[in-house]
Amino acid sequence: GQNIDQPTEMTATEGAIVQINCTYQTSGFNGLFWYQQHAGEAPTFLSYNVLDGLEEKGRFSSFLSRSKGYSYLLLKELQMKDSASYLCAVSGAGSYQLTFGKGTKLSVIP
Amino acid sequence: GAVVSQHPSRVICKSGTSVKIECRSLDFQATTMFWYRQFPKKSLMLMATSNEGSKATYEQGVEKDKFLINHASLTLSTLTVTSAHPEDSSFYICSAGTRGTGLYNEQFFGPGTRLTVL
């Protein structure tokens, strides 16, 4: 099975940097996804990590350590529109299936 | 990019009635579609995995006779909530999987269907 942990809520200031952590214990691992979800909407893809290291994409970066079962999503130059839930999801070996964490609700304040 | 649509986006029904939700991949063929349910302030919970032309695989605790899934073509899957009750009120989201050109198999999400059972 899969067990995925991430903080429930975080608050950060506009213009700042925030790091959202995710730890996982899995019976099989193919990769880790981060999604952004605004209230009442479907998740939108942010990033995918399968190899150890940092993947940078504009203001968002994602890091993975497979040996530690750990990932983080880094958001820079925070904007008010970044207020959303951020979901960490793990893909099992050889499968499309995703197991989602409970999500981290990020509130960006002025 | 790949687009997945869901219909209806919002539905209100009486207790005991059945509701059908459609999920379509608009510009690609999806060999696999997934159905999720999300309660307020909770994460997405996978209900079932649907492969075109075969029976859906349900997650533990999901009643297959209550949540009927049909995946008749590579672009359409339907979820029917039979004899809906207020506790079935939730946000239902589908996603479609396709083999990506990169390192991973991509999954694209529909916009979701808000079901309210009175």
pLDDT in tens, A39-61: 888 888 899 998 999 999 899 99
Alpha carbons B33 and B71: distance in angstroms, whole number: 8
Give the one of B93, B97, B104 whose C-beta lies nearest to A50's C-beta. B104
Alpha carbons B76 and A39: distance in angstroms, whole number: 26
B89 near A CB under 8 A: no
Residue type, B57: T
Residues A102 and A8: beta-carbon distance below 8 Å: yes
| Nearest-neighbour CA in chain A from B44: distance (Å) | 6
A60 near B CB under 8 A: no
Q: Is the pLDDT of residue B87 over 80?
A: yes
**What confidence score (pLDDT) does residue B103 get?**
46
Residues B92 and B109: beta-carbon distance below 8 Å: no
Best mutation target among B38, B43, B47 (most A Cβ atoms within 10 Å) is B43
Q: What percent of chain A has a predicted confidence (pLDDT) above 90?
A: 73
What's the mean pLDDT when you consider all of chain B? Answer: 89
Q: Report which of residues B35 and B51 the model is more confident about.
A: B35
> Averaged in consecutive runs of 10 residues, what is the pLDDT profile of chain A (110 residues)?
89 97 88 91 89 94 96 98 95 75 95
Length of chain B: 118
Alpha carbons B9 and B6: distance in angstroms, whole number: 6
**What confidence score (pLDDT) does residue B35 get?**
95
Q: A95: nearest CA in chain B? A: B105
Residues of A in contact with B45 (CB under 8 A): 100
